[in-house]
Structure 1
Amino acid sequence: MRIAVIGAGFGGIAVAHLLRQAGFGDLVIFDKADGPGGVWRDNTYPGCACDIPAPLYSYSFALNPDWSQRFPPQPEILAYLRRCVRDFDLETTLRPRTEVTAADWTGEAWRVTLGDGTTETFDVLIPAMGQLSRPVVPVLAGAEDFAGPAMHTARWDPGVDVAGRRVGVIGTGASAIQLVPAIAGTAAHVSVFQRSAPWTLPKPNRRYGPWRRALNRRFPALMRAARAGTWLLTVITGKAVTGSRPARLAVWALSTAQRLVQARGMRRAVTPDYAMGCKRVLFTADWFRTLRRGDVELVTADIERVTAAGIRTADGVLHACDILVYGTGFAATEFLTPTRITGRDGRALHDEWRAGAFAHLGIAVPGFPNMFLMYGPNTNTGNTSVVYFHEAQARYIVQAVRLLAARGPVEVRPEVAAAFDTEMQRRLGASVWAGCDSWYRTPGGRVVTNWPGMAAEYAARTAHLDEADYATVTPRRPPAPRQAPAGPRHQERTAGGPAA
């Protein structure tokens, strides 16, 4: 079995490691960047850190005794992933600076096309590009006129110095809520442009001293206990998002109390106008205190246009900026874009997903044999560690690869995938997301990112692969090339290279 994994983030590393452990060693991990890490390689903005406690935001099979704090910063997480690649002996399987532009099912295998135009053949295709790989930059009138540097938080330019500069930050999501406190006091002034206020919860961070790290190394059970405790806390927040009235009331009260205490004088501006769960609930210890600083301004008026000197809002005020930063998130609903994937009978995945992405358990799509997704549709979580979901998916994929190794090419049955998708949309339609605006929805109104239940339910449903869910696909070899007629040899001229 030759296996291609696309992406070297948390998901790609997890599935590659578990496949290697299961005896499937002939695999390649492609990544278009210069090393592993995924979002933790790409996001280097000041203040970037995890908002899930580290004991849970790590692999259960690779607990890290050396975290410096409960919510570790980006460099530590990136170093952890690089160490995992080394410890799992995946360095020889990793091909950095190699983009996969297309993958086509030939009838018996996957033909993968790389960025340099070369192709390779694999028995199994595992896209693990994630939902947070394509930054979204909103289309703003006059944006091209801005005279200073402009960048997305996921494309932070370390050569741009914010010291003594006026910085405009567009957005108040997970990135902005970390960036603004990190640069306030260094920048001359920070203008924060808010479309909608986020729901927040206190961030109980704490540092882990040398004694704690030494105890973790000496007694690994302490790390497992911390992981279990963190898990219990996420169960409470998960129940709040998925509909438990007591849990929802408790989390709402905690969030409201944080605003009452920390956002004096600006509570109306920072109170969300949508249901909790429509956007990710954010953890912070210093957001509201930062907004109350004299050198920080929260702007709630709509942006009218960008000028050479800054941003003019609908109330006629020009907010002078030397630097613009877009903290505007990612195209989470556009799975696998821009890679072109063509399955059985020439079916383009982009066309199959035109009304919104779907996959059985977020992993398998009918008509695409031997292809299994990591972090696919309806596997996002707004309250716990996505790494937990990655591990569940990776274990399921190991079972799927064992199945096709025994039976030959397999694909999920259409009726199985359709039943799962119908269940997802029904449950999501009866949940908090039914009343949300467009944050989680496709233009057709489908919710394709989030899992509607608790994380433990997802782990249970992926723990055992039901072989009856999959049909064996008869390998179909491509037709033999037509024999050239006898006679003098001749050369055909083709545009752009040899004929396919």
Structure 2
Amino acid sequence: MTQQQDTRTIIIGAGMAGILAAIKLLEQGKTNFCVYEKADRIGGTWRDNTYPGLTCDVPSHSYTYSFEPNPNWTRTMPPGAEIQAYFENVVEKYGLAPYLRFGEEVTRLDFIDGRWQLQTISGRRDEADFVVAATGVLHHPRLPNINGMERFKGELFHSARWDHSVPLDGKRIAVVGTGSTGVQIVSALAGRASHLCHYQRSPQWIMPVINTPFSEEERAAWRRDPALLKRLQHDPELEANIERFSVAITEPDSEAMQQIEMIVQQNLEQSVRDPALREKLRPNYRAACKRLIYADTFYEAVQRDNVEVVIEDVTQIEETGIRSPNGELREFDIIVLATGFQADRFMRPMTITGRNGNTLENAWAQRPTAYMAVSIPDFPNLFMLNGPNGPVGNFSLIEIAEQQWHYIQQLMDKVEQGECREICASETALAQFDEARIAAAKRSIFGSGCQSWYLDAQGVPATWPWSRSHFKACMQRPDFSAYEQH
């Protein structure tokens, strides 16, 4: 293959990362690509999640493509509908519509004779030299197996499948789950429900944040002065705070982690007046062991007279409500399952077969893993954006995806410039990477003794266990000795 030959790329997923990959290909003058999306429009998590109170917990100007700053954000932490609108505007501006194929869920990928053969649920077939999996992490809702759930006579749905036809005002509502989603929903509905009960298997540490609205004068200034807007995207104070946070995660005994613990403890002590409720809301694990929750009105919401916090696992649902292990029945009109996602699915349930008949299910029999969160041995020319073991923490996944694309493009260049036809991480490189990653992950705050969706089936934190700056350095240039090239 020579540099002049036209390679074809298939992108799977039209969320944030898939949109990024498509734009980057167009920037390079490449038009021989296609984006397959299982839904009927773009957006990924911001399309699927529309629950009341939905907000990004990354500052708006950070949760923005570096090349497409947005002067029109209305708040420090942007609401979900604004983020979805931002991505829709980006897709229109960059002319991506001709490359998008909606309603085309990819069911299988097979690496045959040096190319990837694709099939979708509709029977469409395609083939390409490269596959970029931008399927996301949190897109398969986790539905709990609760006894009697099917008997409930009211309305019951997962937070990522919100039923907007169901009226909320004056209703008796149960919210099951206490991650960011549960906290946001409770904060939004506390003033609307006649009675709201928040079921928490374990309480969360809450990092206080002020979700400041931006004035029209500020937004007008950003529209007038692109340089001012660009500086806002890379605010030195915010950058320093993010780096300190990443150090705290990787070094649980550091001063940075001690500061985080002090802040969240003070927030609980100073915000919750009733001593009994305060102790009910006090976690029995260290701050940031679970993904840290950023919230501005949650503690205020749970102190309302019509809100009840119940610290227990929901094990029994009946026709009219939820029965506690002690026999008490609480009756509800609506039960919301804010129970998260199957974070270990990634590209699955696609059937993916790489070189030598090796399947993804076999490669991931123990745990999902990828060298540098990008490449899997025996799956040549297939690369992942926000894949296993990436920095899925309280960071901007847009920034992470942009850094990963910079890395992936250099792998693709090897093929396009004729240096090889196939490239993927070697088994040895992945084994060495995983050994170091697992050791570091067990020492991180995520491995300090709590249950969270960060943990894999063996109880090992699955996220990037080193600092943000280390990840950025790794993404600057691949270590090509870690890759098999044929």
Paired with 1:19 and 1:420, the residues of 2 have a C-alpha distance of 29
Aligned partner of residue 86 in structure 1, secondary structure: helix
Paired with 1:251 and 1:16, the residues of 2 have a C-alpha distance of 38
CA offsets, 1:151-187, max 9 Å, x none? 1111101111111211110011110111112112212
Does 1:234 pair with 2:242? yes
Does 1:444 pair with 2:444? no
Corresponding residue of 2:57: 51
Does 1:179 pair with 2:179? no
Q: How many residues align?
A: 472
Can you give the 5+ residue segments of structure 1 that lack an aligned partner in the other structure? 474-500
1:161 to 163, 167, 184: 167
Corresponding residue of 1:249: 258
CA contact (8 A) 2:290 2:451 kept: no
Q: Give the drift of 1:82.
A: 0.8
Q: Give the drift of 1:472.
A: 2.4
Q: Partner letter of residue 325 of structure 1?
A: V
State the identity as a percent: 33
1:312 to 323, 348, 353: 323
CA contact (8 A) 2:264 2:287 kept: no
CA contact (8 A) 1:105 1:342 kept: yes
Paired with 1:438 and 1:292, the residues of 2 have a C-alpha distance of 26
Does 1:263 pair with 2:283? no
Paired with 1:269 and 1:438, the residues of 2 have a C-alpha distance of 18
Paired with 2:25 and 2:434, the residues of 1 have a C-alpha distance of 27
Aligned partner of residue 306 in structure 1, secondary structure: coil
Paired with 2:21 and 2:449, the residues of 1 have a C-alpha distance of 33
Give matches, 1:59-78, under 5 Å. 59-78=65-84
Corresponding residue of 1:221: 227
Q: Give the drift of 1:24.
A: 2.7
CA contact (8 A) 1:15 1:395 kept: no
Pair 1:438–1:288, CA change in 2 (3 A)? closer
Q: Give the drift of 1:416.
A: 1.4
Corresponding residue of 1:204: 210
Dislocated runs of 4+, deviation >6 Å: none
Paired with 1:121 and 1:340, the residues of 2 have a C-alpha distance of 15
Paired with 2:212 and 2:369, the residues of 1 have a C-alpha distance of 40
Q: Give the drift of 1:59.
A: 0.9
Does 1:434 pair with 2:447? yes
Corresponding residue of 1:387: 398
1:340 to 351, 364, 384: 351
Question: Bigger CA drift: 78-87 or 436-445?
Answer: 436-445
Paired with 1:466 and 1:44, the residues of 2 have a C-alpha distance of 41
Corresponding residue of 2:426: 413
Corresponding residue of 1:144: 150
Q: Give the drift of 1:23.
A: 3.0
Paired with 2:272 and 2:459, the residues of 1 have a C-alpha distance of 35
Paired with 2:102 and 2:314, the residues of 1 have a C-alpha distance of 40
Give matches, 1:456-471, under 5 Å. 456-471=469-484
Q: Partner letter of residue 461 of structure 2?
A: V
CA contact (8 A) 1:277 1:382 kept: no
Can you give the 5+ residue segments of structure 2 that lack an aligned partner in the other structure? 1-6
Give matches, 1:48-127, under 5 Å. 48-127=54-133
Corresponding residue of 1:372: 383
Larger Rg: 1
Paired with 1:260 and 1:8, the residues of 2 have a C-alpha distance of 43
TM-score (norm 1): 0.92
Corresponding residue of 2:4: none
Aligned partner of residue 230 in structure 2, secondary structure: helix
TM-score (norm 2): 0.94
Q: Partner letter of residue 469 of structure 1?
A: A
CA offsets, 1:178-217, max 9 Å, x none? 1112112212111110111111111121111111111111
Paired with 1:19 and 1:416, the residues of 2 have a C-alpha distance of 28
Corresponding residue of 1:35: 41
Aligned partner of residue 298 in structure 1, secondary structure: strand
Aligned partner of residue 205 in structure 1, secondary structure: coil
Question: Bigger CA drift: 48-57 or 242-251?
Answer: 242-251
Aligned partner of residue 400 in structure 1, secondary structure: helix
Q: Partner letter of residue 386 of structure 2?
A: Y
Aligned partner of residue 372 in structure 1, secondary structure: strand
